[in-house]
Structure 1
Amino acid sequence: MNISKWFSRQTIYNAIAALLLIAGCVCLVLGVIAAIDWKISPALSLMGAALVLFFAATVERFETLKGLGMEAKLATLDGKIDEASRLLNQIKMVAEITGKTSLSMYAQAGRITDPPSHEEMYELIGKVKESLQSIGSSPATIQEAIQPCTRIMQHELTRAITKAMVKEIHTKQHEIRNTLGGTQTADFVNNQMREIERLEEIRLQLLHSNGLAQNSYPDNLIALLRSDSVSNFNSAGETANELEHFADQMRVLRHTGKLASPDKWFARAREAYSR
């Protein structure tokens, strides 16, 4: 009688596992098709569902499941279902982030006119941070992981704030070049060329942070804008004041991935590439 019950139960388990595997394969195929069609959100949902179905169909076959520095003992499924569920949630979280990042980078590769928005990057930073915290990563590791996105966000906000100043420098360089026509002394030409080079160095510092240490940014750029070297530019003071307004948020973003006023940041950063 016991053998009959065991056989009947095992048959049911096998049938359910087969159905779960078939459903997982269907979700995986549909997810790949959605990714090919650039439907990123449905692709991630379907691939995540496939991962869950595959795991559910095969989990009872494992005595020990290891991954991402975690271990779940599965000697009896009924006794360890809570621990397996927690592990599955963490695996799913990492898989979603990995899939979203990979698909986003692939979908937007080469689209210079359509870079990821600050809202998208900020959301991704939050998910990466939450994922790494859930598996016990150190603050230094998390800061290093989110650094590429935080630096891009910082750079593009600075680009928006310094746009008027950069334009003013470019106009000044053009005016200096116009004085080089006709008969001029060698000393005059050399002095004018040196001034053009000096202004170009400042312009690159504003646009790309050239030569500016990141651990003291944007204080070093604010100091430059308030120095005598750019005192003849009308927009220097206003640019320095606005950078100072966002300075604390820049520092906190680099270290924690958080913004105190994200909406104000996003709105100002959108102007980085506007005409």
Structure 2
Amino acid sequence: MKSTSYDIVKWPGLIRDFLLGSMGLLCIGFAIHSAVNEKLQAAGTLFTAGLLLCLFSSLARFESIKGLGIEAKMVALSEKLNEADQLLGHMRNMVGLMADTSFQIIGNLGRWDAEIPKAAMLKIVGNFHELLTSLGEPAEVIEKKLEPWHLSNERDLVYPIHGALHKFVQFQNQVLTEQAREAPQGDATIRGQSVSDLFDRNVDFLRRVDKLINSEIDEFPEGVDRLIRDSDVGTNEDLLWLRRQLEGPLEELRYYLKHKSFKDKGAWLARPYAWEIAMDFTSLSHPIAKLR
């Protein structure tokens, strides 16, 4: 049906070209007749008019026609019109995408304790990426525009690790408190170390954790590994357990930092924005851990 309607639309143009060509040939015929009868001025005028009519009847078939001071570039004009149509299409896509984003913000962030669903955010970012690519934006320019999105995701992967480290130190403080309570009266040491010094050690560990989260995110995974490796907070068993708890989240963060994409998109979508790493201290050998 589409090709039929298109052919019908072309008929007026075909009739016009036929009439112009016929008139052109008729003028050339009269020009020859006038030349035979020695009417050279009339013959020249008729021949020029006939030539122009024939040229205009076939103008759409030529990229460039030069003659008698007339120049037409129909193909170039057609290409410009096609570019304009494509630009209008991109503009329509942009308006639709901005409308989707605006309605997501109005519908979700306009309420208390509300947020744009992860799946919707992922779709919006994907549509932006496709639109910028279709507009001819270089890949590095697109990634530059997506930096705020990547930074937000990286922070979402960092904060649970930060929270887990805090939980670990809180548990160690509880262990110290219980050990100090069970120590002989007047003895302010645990395994030869001052209880006060041990608490200061834990505070220093937390200070270094907070310093890490305020540094460059690219350095965070290695900083956490180094912090646990060099630490003496708790026993070696405790630190080995902590490293195992953080192994998966740290690997996920490293993957995103390198590829700017999620290692397991399904797992990321299934988690809430503010998620926490489960810390099951009951597997540790401390008596207090069995009470948690």
Alignment partner, residue 147 of structure 1: 147
Displacement, 1:202? 4.6
Letter matched to residue 211 of structure 1:
N
- Which has the larger Rg? 2
Counterpart Cα distance in 2 of 1:171 and 1:100: 46
Q: Provide closer, same or farther for how the CA distance between residues 234 and 85 of structure 1 changes in structure 2, counting only shifts above 3 A.
A: same
Counterpart Cα distance in 2 of 1:198 and 1:148: 32
Q: TM-score, normalised by structure 2?
A: 0.49
Displacement, 1:272? 0.7
Give yes or no for contact 2:118–2:269 (8 Å, CA) kept in 1. yes
1:83 aligns with 2:83: yes
Task: Give unpaired runs (5+ residues) of structure 1.
Answer: 1-76
Alignment partner, residue 168 of structure 2: 168
Counterpart Cα distance in 1 of 2:266 and 2:158: 16
- Counterparts of residues 1-275 of structure 1 (less than 5 Å): 82-109=82-109, 113-160=113-160, 163-173=163-173, 191=197, 194-204=200-210, 210-228=213-231, 232-233=238-239, 235-254=241-260, 258-268=261-271, 272=275
Indicate the SS of the match to 2:143.
helix
Q: TM-score, normalised by structure 1?
A: 0.52
1:108-150 CA-to-partner distances (Å, cap 9, x unmatched) read: 4375633334333322322222222233334343223222222
* Aligned CA-pair RMSD: 4.2
Letter matched to residue 141 of structure 2:
T
Counterpart Cα distance in 1 of 2:114 and 2:127: 22
Counterpart Cα distance in 2 of 1:229 and 1:123: 45
**Count of matched residue positions in the alignment of Structure 1 and Structure 2:** 192
Counterpart Cα distance in 1 of 2:221 and 2:200: 26
Counterpart Cα distance in 2 of 1:266 and 1:98: 23
Indicate the SS of the match to 1:127.
helix
1:45-83 CA-to-partner distances (Å, cap 9, x unmatched) read: xxxxxxxxxxxxxxxxxxxxxxxxxxxxxxxx9876533
Give the percent of matched residue pairs that are identical in Structure 1 and Structure 2. Answer: 16
Task: Give unpaired runs (5+ residues) of structure 2.
Answer: 1-76, 189-193, 279-292
Displacement, 1:175? 5.7
Counterpart Cα distance in 2 of 1:273 and 1:112: 21
Q: Provide closer, same or farther for how the CA distance between residues 147 and 112 of structure 1 changes in structure 2, counting only shifts above 3 A.
A: farther
